[in-house]
Amino acid sequence: MNGINGQLLIIFGASGDLTERKLIPSLMNLYQGGHLPESFAVLGVSRSDMDDADFRKKVALENPHIPETVGNFGDRKEFAKRLFYHDLESYTESYEGLKQRIDALDEEQGTQGNFMFYLSVPPRIYETIASKLDDQGLSSEEGGTRRLIVEKPFGYDLESARELNTGLQRYFRESQIFRIDHYLGKETVQNLLVTRFSNSIFEPLWNRNYIRHVEITNAESVGVGKRGGYYDSAGALRDMFQNHLLQIISLVVMEPPIGPDAEEIRNEKVKALKSLRIMRDPETLYKHTIRGQYMAGEIDGKAVPGYREEEGVDPESTTETYAALKFYVDNWRWAEVPFYVRTAKRMPTKVTEVVIHFKSPHHQIFRDIGMDSKDNKLIIRIQPNEGILIKFGVKVPGQGFQVERANLDFYYSDMTDANIMAAYERLLLDAMQGDATLYARADEVEAAWEFVDPILTYWEQSEDVVTYGYSAGVWGPRNADDLIEGAYGWRNPGTHLTDDPGFCVIT
């Protein structure tokens, strides 16, 4: 039970997709794993006309996102008894009725006045909800813990992110606000910290003296699906880079924290984000940023539509579904080490990985053609086929000293005892325990926007910017390959960690 006291989780926007797809399935898993407190209940709140029974049916008993293999149906029925629903006419009405319901449930379920409010609603109503909760005394921690979890997008640009922060902080203290970024809930993202700071074989090399460049790929084979309406006004940079990728980048870049506490780690992450060199002049922005958009093509042998044909997308849209950036980090550790980062939809496969390219030995004894592409690499695979791969040179048997590259690989799946929690499970549990390490702090979010804002403005306003088309199922526009100088290119990974560049999976 992890020492968590009773908890009442109040989900705003409970009739939406996230509750059904992620939140309830995660809670169900936590319940089955015995991780939830004895006294635990969920109150779904939204504007749909439902009662407790309808809600239980929708999100638990008949939820297609809870695999049948998860526990037995008896468990599901038991779990469903802890779910309740409250219908709000509108989010702006008085929450007096809601407060009464919360108090009644608290009493009945023994949740000890510990309330966690989860906002799975559009960010424009975050502040309204926070103020209405405050009106009812529900932000005050006098009678128990009161926490507010907010979903992304956290702001549309720097200014709106600042407004959101100020708006929420009017009613809740920063220590009560948990900004969720589900990438931080991924084991492999957290493992970046462990790889770096618990191994003396990596950390001494983790700097400009030994690292030539850093490459990060985040590829998805899916398109925008039914989210065209939202995505068309967001684009890849806002949807993925500003949050998930900058979180990964901050973990790669940061200095060792003094200790493992949330604030120590978050302080270093903010410092890392602030040390990214903000691109402001048009020439750099032109040369170091690339935007692309997928066109009709084939993925896994199936024809898929182009972005402009997707539901909810403007047929003349220039929104990017592919973004690639080159940038530098202005601090002692990373001076003049280029970072290349790309994120995209409709790529040949779904994969996220960080590749650390080490410099060649200062003095090359074994001269060999193509040594550049045989550089030592550390590949940290975030997903799928989670693991770590080291590429190093070995002698090819026979006469002379011909060098070939060999693999040293580790897979999480080999740690058979490890029961890997899904991202939302871990994050929900952490929030219940009040551990904010894996949540983004206000200044962290703002520092991320500070880096992204000038790129977005340039893309929106400059006449030089073009959106390159790429066929669905290829690794993005061709010119993105030129972003990486020299004999290096992107490592186009396959589903399996040890697949070599250029390999792509067609099943």
How far CA 471 is from CA of 7, 110, 479, in Å, comes to 48, 56, 14
Exactly one of 244, 288, 357, 496 is catalytic; name it. Answer: 244
The smaller minimum CB distance to ligand BG6, of residues 129 and 224, is found at: 224
Integer Cα distance of 245 and 238 in angstroms: 10
Closest-by-Cβ residue to ligand BG6 is 239
- Mapped onto helix, strand or coil, the DSSP state of residue 100 is helix
Is residue 151 a contact point for ligand BG6 (CB under 6 A)? no
- Mapped onto helix, strand or coil, the DSSP state of residue 333 is coil
Note if 244 is an active site residue.
yes
Integer Cα distance of 141 and 500 in angstroms: 54
Is residue 320 a contact point for ligand BG6 (CB under 6 A)? no
The smaller minimum CB distance to ligand BG6, of residues 353 and 375, is found at: 353
Shortest CB 21 distance to ligand BG6, Å: 11
The smaller minimum CB distance to ligand BG6, of residues 224 and 290, is found at: 224
Say how many CA atoms lie within 13 Å of 291 toward its Cβ.
Answer: 21
Pick the closest to residue 131 from 106, 148, 145, 116 (CA basis): 148
Shortest CB 343 distance to ligand BG6, Å: 9
Shortest CB 330 distance to ligand BG6, Å: 28
Beta strand pairing call for 302-304 and 403-411: unpaired
Integer Cα distance of 142 and 241 in angstroms: 38
Shortest CB 220 distance to ligand BG6, Å: 5
Q: Which two tokens stand for residue 288?
A: 């170091």
Shortest CB 23 distance to ligand BG6, Å: 14
Shortest CB 345 distance to ligand BG6, Å: 7
Report the amino acid identity of residue 470.
Answer: Y
Report the amino acid identity of residue 153.
Answer: P
Query: 292 pairs with which residues across the strands?
Result: 322, 468
Neighbours of 85 (CB within 10 A): 23
Neighbours of 353 (CB within 10 A): 24
Site for ligand BG6 in 247-276 (CB under 6 A): none
The smaller minimum CB distance to ligand BG6, of residues 223 and 257, is found at: 223
Is residue 239 a contact point for ligand BG6 (CB under 6 A)? yes
Shortest CB 227 distance to ligand BG6, Å: 7
The smaller minimum CB distance to ligand BG6, of residues 59 and 240, is found at: 240
Give how far the C-alpha of residue 187 lies from the chain's centroid of Cα atoms, to the nearest Å. 12
Candidate residues 106, 151, 220, 446; the one interacting with ligand BG6 per rule CB under 6 A? 220
Q: Which two tokens stand for residue 63?
A: 């939820």
Label each residue of 42-94 as H, E or C. Answer: EEEEECCCCCHHHHHHHHHHCCCCCCCCCCCHHHHHHHHCCEEEEECCCCCCC
The smaller minimum CB distance to ligand BG6, of residues 228 and 338, is found at: 228
Tell me how many residues contact ligand BG6 (CB under 6 A).
3
Shortest CB 278 distance to ligand BG6, Å: 24
Shortest CB 321 distance to ligand BG6, Å: 10
What x/- string results for residues 175 through 214 when contact with ligand BG6 is judged by CB under 6 A? ----------------------------------------
Taking phi over 0 as left and psi of -120 to 50 as alpha, with beta for the rest, 13 belongs to left
Residue 386 near residue 187, CB atoms below 8 Å = yes
The smaller minimum CB distance to ligand BG6, of residues 186 and 288, is found at: 186
Say how many CA atoms lie within 13 Å of 394 toward its Cβ.
Answer: 9
The smaller minimum CB distance to ligand BG6, of residues 97 and 153, is found at: 153
Strands across the sheet containing 177-179: 83-87, 40-46, 7-12, 115-119, 146-150, 177-179
Site for ligand BG6 in 447-506 (CB under 6 A): none
The smaller minimum CB distance to ligand BG6, of residues 36 and 248, is found at: 248
Neighbours of 60 (CB within 10 A): 22
List interacting residues with ligand BG6 (CB under 6 A).
Answer: 220, 239-240
Show which residues are catalytic.
Answer: 244
